[in-house]
Structure 1
């Protein structure tokens, strides 16, 4: 039985075996061995994954999780098609105590890793694997083995990533006899994720962040993001044709559904976009990306401005955070825009849901209708202060004697 397998997971070190590489063809990312040969089980799964209309970013994320799984199997000496829940259990235990591999050791951020920033109230990224990373790894492995066991008919006899049974009712109680039986419930080895409440950026912090930007391009990106809460990937995909200058709208491609949607932006945002376009001095083609690098680079076609990618946007925030001593990110702007809209009495939650691109209204209301604890504490403190102040009795009306009323109601005369 797999329960009898015991390993000292603290002593296991993953080998630097294989890598994830970009590839030409239908699958944009592949896992290859040290000789550069694609790992066939992973390649076949990723082909199916791409055919189900998953985005290249998701393919890359799945490939890295499967590369870590292959390295883990080599470290414990188990073939991929002989894996049991014991290997998944031990991998989860290892991820909970292992440090993430980095390209270079921390320098300035070594003292703040895992700590809460006193200005933003956000926790700095730590050196350990986050619970969400472990849950994502379990989900990837379960879907990988589900593909091989149910679709191909190969691999281990059971899925190494088991699910817990739902408490309070019989599993598969409404099972369709024409469909295969499926396990129900949460994944057994998933760690609990602490619920993080979104926090709006205070106006003074927003002014500091906006003032610290070094270019009109960066100011324009922030102004658009705080106007409609668009995600970073959605904003970076905006082209020249996606700007409606007359109605002050920006067209984005939604992250999940890949549908086009026009979003409003403030008049100030379009002013900063105009200033940014004047700075670069180039005539922007309608089909070219809106956001370009400020420096020209030669990529084989001469010196040209390149489309701005996510890493370049992160570098913008790294520079400004180093100056301000903060750890803001683009997602903080999305939270700020969402909370500002949700607290506006002229906007309904359905309006906020539409602008944010949430599929369900419950997602919007459950996340952004939660009161900020700091604001609640301040209001309660003000309530207690008001209660402690002595209450002065109202003045005696004309025609009544204050001494007579004091005798009648048993109080001291003023």
Structure 2
């Protein structure tokens, strides 16, 4: 089983922790992706270390341990494998060009909420088996129904099952659109046709980075200018339209490879050849290599753009096009619910809002002051006849 589950939590003796191993095996068997298994393994590793620190056995944990972990995560700094060098001065600050905040060394509310969800799922598995604690140590908030939507009105939408008691609130974030001039600067800073091709495909199709990196040679529809991706959540295949410019750069990049790709061969490959035991050859491009491309660009431009900003940019451009409906945008982005697309991308352009407010303030400044009212005992009409107009 150790070779089946791609990620495991091991003890100091390099032996897999049995309760976590059994949970991850079941989690993988429920058709979850290896990336999700990795995410859950790291969340349970944090929980296991916390239980060791407070000297509590895993099957004796209570809501007090969950509460204390949430409090600790709220004020603790992340343990880094290496110290910050160039990013030490910018950590936690806002980039003046992109207006995006740099990451700092503290745990974000989304990380805490994910940790609670992972631990709750782990104990639900053991409670269902009858081998864990009787009560889940990650409880839901008080005052909620024991069965979700048990008194649901069919005329009203379904509500969520209930918020986990110790989940911190997550501030709503605006989508990060890249202005046209900033997009031109970023594109001009790219050094290879491969990078130009994958960036052009991302900003025109709205695909996620992982979805684009998984594209094979057979997934390119040259005649219709389509790219087939495997969706992150559903694992469903979907053809996405890309711009003619993206296919031009893609053709130039593939010509540089010097040979035609096999149908099942990854499209995106490293520019340098490496020897992995079979001689020098190009390797499939992974997410770290793509991040390295953006690190070089950001160092050159003084920005902190990411690949996901291109997805936001594509989504906002499409949502503001009157020829496309929100259903069209939802289908391209791969959202399960239309409300997700509308809530995120039906927003006003911040720069346009600021421009209109400046016009409003300038208009108020240019207006003449209102005439002062006449003193007691005088008639406004008589004064208007006498002075040839209204009072000033």
Same fold (TM over 0.5): yes
Superimposed CA distance per residue, residues 182-213 of structure 1 (whole angstroms, 9 cap, x where no aligned partner): x9521111111111011311001001111111
Partner of 1:93 in structure 2? 71
Partner of 2:52 in structure 1? 74
Partner of 2:291 in structure 1? 314
Describe the SS at the equivalent of 1:31: coil
Contact 2:148 2:161 in 1 (8 A): no
Partner of 1:218 in structure 2? 195
Distance across 2 between alignment mates of 1:127 and 1:215: 33
1:64 to 2:28 alignment: no
1:290 to 2:250 alignment: no
Structure 2, unaligned stretches of length 5 or more?
152-159, 369-383
Superimposed CA distance per residue, residues 353-399 of structure 1 (whole angstroms, 9 cap, x where no aligned partner): 111111111111111002133421211212333454469xxxxxxxx
Contact 1:88 1:160 in 2 (8 A): yes
Describe the SS at the equivalent of 1:251: strand
Q: 1:231 aligns with which of 184, 208, 218?
A: 208
How far residue 342 of structure 1 moved from its aligned partner, in angstroms, is: 0.4
Distance across 2 between alignment mates of 1:217 and 1:174: 50
Superimposed CA distance per residue, residues 122-168 of structure 1 (whole angstroms, 9 cap, x where no aligned partner): 00011001110000000000000010012x1012221100101356x
How far residue 174 of structure 1 moved from its aligned partner, in angstroms, is: 6.3
Superimposed CA distance per residue, residues 297-322 of structure 1 (whole angstroms, 9 cap, x where no aligned partner): 11111111000011111111111111
Contact 1:165 1:185 in 2 (8 A): no
Structure 1, unaligned stretches of length 5 or more?
1-22, 177-182, 392-405
Distance across 2 between alignment mates of 1:233 and 1:370: 26
Q: Against the structure 1 CA distance between its residues 246 and 173, is the aligned structure 2 distance closer, same or farther, given a 3 Å change threshold?
A: closer
Partner of 1:137 in structure 2? 115
Q: Against the structure 1 CA distance between its residues 32 and 331, is the aligned structure 2 distance closer, same or farther, given a 3 Å change threshold?
A: same
1:146 to 2:114 alignment: no
Partner of 2:84 in structure 1? 106
Q: 1:370 aligns with which of 347, 352, 364?
A: 347
Instruction: Give the TM-score, by structure 1 length.
Output: 0.85
Q: 1:272 aligns with which of 228, 249, 267?
A: 249
Supply the RMSD in Å over aligned alpha carbons.
2.2
Distance across 2 between alignment mates of 1:272 and 1:60: 34
Describe the SS at the equivalent of 1:30: coil
Distance across 2 between alignment mates of 1:79 and 1:41: 12
Partner of 1:54 in structure 2? 32
Superimposed CA distance per residue, residues 286-307 of structure 1 (whole angstroms, 9 cap, x where no aligned partner): 1100000001111111111000
Superimposed CA distance per residue, residues 62-119 of structure 1 (whole angstroms, 9 cap, x where no aligned partner): 0011111111111111111111111111111111111111110001100111111111
